[in-house]
Every structure is written in C-alpha cells, then in structure tokens.
Structure 1
Amino acid sequence: MSLPQADGSWRDVTLQPARTWEKHPGGFSTRIAFAAAHVVADPWQENGPGQPAAIDWDSTLAFRQHLFDHGFGVAEAMDTAQRNMGLDWPAIQELVSRSAAQAQAAGARIASGAGTDHVARGDDLEAVTAAYLEQVAFVEGTGSQVIVMASRHLAAVARSAEDYLQVYDQVLNQVGSPVILHWLGPMFDQQLLGYWGSEDIPTATATFLELVARHAARIDGVKVSLLSAEHEVSLRAALPEGVRLYTGDDYNYPELIRGDGERHSDALLGAFAAIAPAASAALTALDAGDLDAYEAEMAPTVPLSRLVFAPPTWFYKTGIAFLSWLAGHQSGFTMVGGLQSARPVTHLAEVFALANEARLLPDPELAASRMDVVLRGAGVTR
C-alpha cells in the first residue's frame, strides 16, 4: 500500500499478516493494568464542536469488553474519553454508570474519573471543593473506584500550594474507599500548567508528596502523566509504603512497568487502549518471568504509542479512535466534538504504518481499505 509522507513523497508498505492474539481475561498476577478507554461517537448524530456528545453505546461498551477480555481494567471517563474536549456531564454520568455495571458483570476492575467539569466555573475554593465532592459521590454510587482528576477550575482559582492542599484534604477526608490521584501535566492540558502551586516540577512534587503522606490510607495509588521516566522513578521511590504508582507515561511504559528489580510501576495508560492485545501478551510473559518475551512484545508498540502521543499531545485521542476504527471496533471514524479532524492525514498514515508493523490490525485488508477512504476523502491520492 502507498502512504503519503509529510514531505509530499510516498512510500510503499507491505501489509503484515494478521496475528492471532490470545485473550487473557482475569487480569495479571504481577501488575495491575488499567486501559483508559475512548468513547465511540454515533456517526448518525451531530457531534460537532460545542454540541452535546452523542455516543454509540453498543460500540463503546463492546470496546470495553475487548479490554476486559485482554485482562485490563478500564479507566473510565478520563481524558482519553475526551473530558474537557467534548464529553459533557450527562454523557459522563451515563458512561460511568453503564461501564461500572458492565465491569461488575464481567468481574473486571473499573476506576472512573471524578473532577469538577460539570460546573461552568469555580469561583472560589469552596465551589471547587463542592464540585469535586459531587462527582466523587456520583462515581462511588455506581460502584466504581474513584480517580480524583486534576481540575481546571482549581488551577484557575488556586493561588498557592496551600490552596491545593486545602481542597484535596477536604475531598480525601470524605472518600468512601481508597482512590487514585491523577496529576495530569500541561503537555496533556495546557490549562493545568503550574498544578500543585508551582511550574517548578520538584516544588510541585514536594506538595504532591505532602498530600499523599497525609492521606496514604485513603490513596490506592497515584497516576502521574508528565512523560518523564526519570521523574516517575524518583517519585515512585518517595511514595509511602502501600501507595502504588500507576504509570501514565505513554513514551516509556515498558521500562517503568518492568521496574528496576526493587520497584516497579503498575499502569493506567491511554496507550493500552490502542495496543491492548500486544500489551496483554507482554504482561502475561512478565507474569511468567519471561523478561525477553516481555520486551519483545512491548518493543513494536513503543514507536506507535510515541507517535499517537506526539505533540500537541492533547490530540492523542484522535489516534486512539482512528486505531479503533482500523481494527474494526467501530463503524466510523468520527469523534465527539469533531476531534477526528485534529491530526493531519500524513500523521494518520504513519499511525497506520506502525500499527501494521506491530501486527495490531486484525483484518489488514479492512484496515487498508479504510486508510484508503481517509486518503481519498482528504484529496490525497497518488
């Protein structure tokens, strides 16, 4: 197949044969692994910018079953599902309720994001706290574990590290069971620049660790999405006993999950939604103590993940949905908020090429025909 390059040239790629990936329901014995899942937009409905999200529920839930079948828990209603980028609060509520019920029926893990994005604005710390508590109560009411997400509203009104600590102290003092704390870096959301009260990462990390130490019994783990393996390794060593680090590093996840022989990271990754069969095979090998097989299964996924999450990183959701469509998990390449237009066609062509190399296309001919549709629709023909 001929694929266009960013420099205006073309290159030919050979379709790789489909690989039969074994399913692995029931999870893994040596690592906890969540995949942050996207939502499938209903192609028959209006899903333009500013419009309420219209979701294809059958395909959205079928994709979650695909993740469960490969051993993953689902991290629901996270930034991968377009929080703050098209997914509105009524859709979030229905999504979490449906997914939590599905996970319980499947005996699978689920953790869902609780933030403050259902309110138009948070005028002060008290309003932000109230918004957090409302969403936490909702998520807990569905039976899902809570992920306390970073809040744009808090970033806008907080004036110091103490303001962050004040809000999170109140939230964590009222949770019903241990939660996952999420620190999302500005490469994923520019409005979160300076989270924890400082743009200096060591200073912000000190505040974050102070909070974790205060509430260690109420925190299952932390997910840090700063795309820095060095920072994650340092933070992992500083966490209180019993608090997990769920890697959010979509660039360096193989080495962080493998660990250094003393400590390792568990995982909560948007990348796993794109590479679930290969990541499942790798984690199964890790459970068996076969490190060579682990590395071999992970290696082809890294270039693909790094491309999907390439700057501007917040548009990675487009690559996740595109790969889902190529793999036959959904009927159309449409997204809530019209986000399917966020990446150029040459980027999508390279995503196709790397997925092909990793043998993550269950039906290569179908994927190729769909790639051709995208190219022709964009007016890119040879």
Structure 2
Amino acid sequence: MSILLPSETGVSRPYVPRSEAVSYATNLPLRSRVVYSAAHVVADPLRAAADAPAAVDWEATLAFRRHLWAHGLGVAEAMDTAQRGMGLDWAGAAELIRRSSAEARSVGGRIACGVGTDQLTGPADLGDVVAAYEEQLAVVEEAGAQAVLMASRALTAVAKGPDDYLEVYERLLRQSSDRVILHWLGPMFDPALAGYWGSDDLDTATEAFLAVIATHPDKVDGVKVSLLDADREIALRRRLPKGVRCYTGDDFNYPELIEGDEQGFSHALLGIFDPLAPLAASAVSVLDTGDAAGFRRVLDPTVELSRHLFGAPTRFYKTGVVLLAWLAGHQTHFTMLGGLQSARSLPHLARAYELADRIGLFPDPALAESRMRALLALHGVDA
C-alpha cells in the first residue's frame, strides 16, 4: 500500500514503504575509528517554553543516549545538534552535561561535552569570553567528561584578528586538566561564526587554527572540522601534529573521509550519526576487518539522506534529525525546543522519511508509516 508524499513542486507522488525491518547488531566494539554521534535532545511538550532550565524530557533524552552507546558509538553532548544557541541555553546545557555524564559512567559509555560561551548575553570583551569558557570547562571536567571547545559567537564578535583567538585558546589549553577536542564550525551551521580564527579567508584561518594547536599539542586530543569541504579537511588533517586526531564533522562527505587514504583518515563526530547510529556502527565494524569496500557499501547509501537533512539553510538540520527519531520510535512526539519542528517544510520532511525508509533506518516501518501519515494529516494532506 502506497503513501502519497508531497513534493516541493506541489505535486504529491506515491511511495510504497518498506514492509520488513532491517536488523542491526548492537554492542559492537568499534576499534579502527573513534566514532561520536552528536546527540539531539527530546523536548517536553507538556512544559512551558519559559521553564528553566530548558523544557527537556530528561528520561527520553537519556534513553536515546543509551541507544547510541548500545550501538558502540560515543556521545558528543550539548553540541549544536542538541540545539545549543537554538533553544537550549547554558542552564539547560549544564544540566544535560551532568545527567548524561553520570549516565555514561553507569553504562561505560564514551562521552565528550561542548564547552562554549553562550551564557554571555550582552557586550563582552576577551576577558569575559575567557571567563565564560572557564566556567563551562569546569562544569564538564567536574562531570568527568572530555571537553569539546566549541566555536564562540561572543569571541567572533570581539576578536580583532587571529592573535585574539590565539590568546583565548592558549589560556584554555594551558589550564585544561585533560586533552580536549577543538571544534571549527563553519558559518553554514551558524552564520554568526563567519570569519572564525580571525579571517574570512579559509587559508588564513587554517594557519591560525594550526597555530592554536601548536601552542599545546599535548592538550589537544583532536579537531572536529565542520566546513563541508572534504579537500580542505584532508589537507588540514595531513598537517596535524602527531597524536592529534581529525574528527570529521562533514555531513556531506563522511564515508570517504572516514575511510581515508594512504596518508591517513578521519575519525568521526557527526550530527548525522544521531539517526544513522545502527548503520554507522555496522559500517565501522566492517571497516575494522579491513574491508574498506564493504564499509562503503554500507555507508554510501546514507549520503543522500544526510545531504538532504543538511541542505541549506544547514543550521535547521536538527528538525530532520528529530523527525527521524520520532518516526523510529525513540520519542513519542515531534516537538522541539523553541518550536524548531516548524523550521523545515512538509515536503522536506516527507522526503526525509522516504530516504530513511529506503535505507532501512526504521526498526518498525509500520510505525514510521503511521506516524508520517499522521503528520501529513495534521497539515491537511490526505495520504
């Protein structure tokens, strides 16, 4: 039985959903790559948006993290996928970090948590930026998690050039108690981060980024690069100091970057691995055997879905991620912090459903179809 899915042209088209689920192994000991999923948060639709901290359904949010750990992935917590700066404030993020870090300890899961400056709400100077970073770094370290030093909107606003970035990050690296991950998030994910590292010219920015790493390479576990430019990521990873990993954040080109070449490869810290966790773990487990072609056979078919979810405006990819979590049965509703479920069009969501179903992403295809029909009906579409 087919379902009528609306398209961007305004013409609905029939699609026959998958009838049988695809089974994926759990508890895979991924060895050849370090793989993180940047995880979304589940909103509580019964609480007021003004509730502090943010109206998060904590049990459903933690249950989803247990799902990721069960598939062998690490959790990258309180990152942009968790709506940092787009519905999740610092108070909510701090609570999320504490709860998820405790849960990680209880199940033996890998976790890294975002450290930013989003508690700054007014004019700031470099001293304020450093103090804000330090406050968040202390919360993550006290929770027993690894820190991801995220790009800062406040630093972008006040920095006069690469030297200001160098000053701020050198201070943070010097005082961090453990090795951190540095995050370069491109403006396609957050327009307020244009010109990060002190220049709009990416070659100049890359040199500034490498200069930051060079101040304390022993304090840098790795770098997460989210520029959606595979060639630039490859060139950067070849210049990293020995022992510093490259974690791809490229949701367009991740299979080739994770596979790597004769000169190296990227590990992964990806928002798309939130919905793709079972497939991602399965693919990396194949790569662990040395079967690169088999790895690509599993992961390459997922790229069309990822490119769709992360299409412009890229920052709204989170809407598709949460849609797929609801369709897959990981949460009971399609509601997001700040009402972000309305950030994508119905045809965009319908296409996401179709692409996800085609690759066998839903553990219960009938449930996914039923929920998609309900979403279409809510918008006046007779499917």
Class of the TM-score when normalised by the shorter of the 2 chains: over 0.9
In structure 1, give the amino acid aligned to 2:315.
Answer: W
Q: Is 2:316 the partner of 1:315?
A: yes
Give yes or no for contact 1:325–1:332 (8 Å, CA) kept in 2.
Answer: yes
Q: Which residue of 1 aligns with 2:107?
A: 106
Task: Tell me which residue corresponds to 1:21.
Answer: 24
* 2: CA distance, partners of 1:309 / 1:24: 28
- Extract unaligned runs of 5+ from structure 2: none
Q: What secondary structure, in the 3-state scheme, does the structure 2 residue paired with 1:162 have?
A: helix
* Equivalent position of 2:266 in the other structure: 265
Name the structure 1 match of 2:152: 151
What's the secondary structure of 1:267's corresponding residue?
strand
Task: Tell me which residue corresponds to 2:215.
Answer: 214
Residue 43 of structure 1: how far off its partner (Å): 1.8
Which residue is equivalent to 1:56?
57
User: How far apart are 1:82 and its partner, in Å?
Assistant: 0.3
Residue of structure 1 equivalent to 2:231: 230
CA drift of 1:53 comes to 1.7
Query: For each residue in 1:278-336, what CA deviation from the matched residue of structure 2 results, as whole angstroms up to 9, or x when unmatched?
Result: 11110000001122221111022110111111000000010110000000000000000
Residue 182 of structure 1: aligned partner: 183
Secondary structure, counterpart of 2:87 in structure 1: coil
Contact 1:122–1:154 (Cα < 8 Å) also in 2: no
The question of whether the paired residues in 1 share the 8 Å contact of 2:238 and 2:263 is answered with: no
Which of 3, 6, 9 is the equivalent residue of 2:8? 6
Percent of pairs with identical residues: 53
Letter in 2 for 1:107: G
Q: Distance in 2 between matches of 1:121 and 1:79?
A: 21
> Could you state the TM-score of these two structures normalised by the residue count of structure 1?
0.97
Q: Please give the alpha-carbon distance, in whole angstroms, between the structure 1 residues aligned to 2:208 and 2:300.
A: 35
Match of 2:39 in 1: 37
Counting only pairs closer than 5 Å after superposition, residues 1-382 of structure 1 correspond to structure 2 as 1-16=3-18, 17-25=20-28, 27-47=29-49, 53-381=54-382
Q: Which runs of 5+ in 1 are unaligned?
A: none
Whether the 8 Å CA contact 1:86–1:337 is kept in 2: the answer is: yes
Q: Is the 8 A contact 1:30 1:286 kept in 2?
A: yes
Change (3 A) 1:80 1:143: same
Shift in Å at residue 52 of structure 1?
Answer: 5.3
Amino acid at match of 1:337: G
TM-score of the two chains, using structure 2 as the length reference: 0.97
Name the amino acid aligned to 2:248.
Answer: T
Paired residues, number: 380
Instruction: Measure the CA separation in 2 of the matches of 1:149 and 1:115.
Output: 5
Cα distance in structure 2, aligned partners of 1:5 and 1:45: 33
Deviations 1:158-187 (A, max 9, x none): 011111111111111110000000010000
In 2, the alpha carbon distance for the partners of 1:213 and 1:157 equals 23
Is the 8 Å Cα contact of residues 221 and 244 (structure 1) preserved in structure 2? yes
Give distance in 2, aligned partners of 1:52 and 1:282. Answer: 37
Name the SS for the 1:23 alignment partner.
coil
> What SS class does the counterpart of residue 8 from structure 2 fall into?
coil
**Runs of at least 4 residues of structure 1 off by over 6 A?**
none
Aligned-residue offset at 1:51: 7.9
Q: State the SS of the aligned residue for 2:136.
A: helix
In structure 2, the CA distance between the partners of 1:52 and 1:346, relative to structure 1 (3 Å rule), is farther
Please tell me the residue identity of whatever aligns with 1:24: N
Contact 1:223/1:245 (8 A) holds in 2 = yes
Question: Which residue type is aligned with residue 34 of structure 2?
Answer: I
CA contact (8 A) 2:52 2:92 kept: no
